[in-house]
Structure 1
């Protein structure tokens, strides 16, 4: 089995598309600002984040409600320098709900939400798991 993408169902496709492309700087596989589907691939790794127009998918499944309430997804993105990513994304219009802070002794994290309210965690790994395991031996 291979994970190919995490797909977010969104109501305002163009706005969310521009957020992932312009604010987070992810590269779309093809330009599709008006949807109904787009996939973004991070610089590293093979799985990506995809957007699907919620209305279009509701027509296919005949089951989706109008709008979800509360956080329904958590997208986790690893960055090399969390402070630099925080400053860059803020300069592009991102509003963080939690500034960079330690999470345990292995990483630092910061949180923001996309225009549909999906939670995004940015991670900076301070110590890789292998290094931490070797240091404890």
Structure 2
């Protein structure tokens, strides 16, 4: 398992994008100034290094099928990459974890699952697939 990034769930995506890119000088990966998602990395250092990502808060609430509070109140989540999402989810469920969503496809290359820690903080588990083509 590896830490992928910390994702901040934001209401004013454009203002937060400008802050992390223009004020702090972090490097956006795609240039998606209007959202709903962007990942930033340090201006210097390894390209694959863990960074900070922004995501529209309402989009995450919709994904988790949580309308209203507390979903719109989530401010961040920790993103962890695992090699075998199904196996990992089965193992943590056996140890008492309750999955909120997934394992399910998120994109063509990525599958995800979501859960909360005992304090209600969101955790996203990711499995990246290699595309064969």
Q: TM-score, normalised by structure 2?
A: 0.48
Q: Greater CA radius of gyration, 1 or 2?
A: 1
Q: TM-score, normalised by structure 1?
A: 0.47
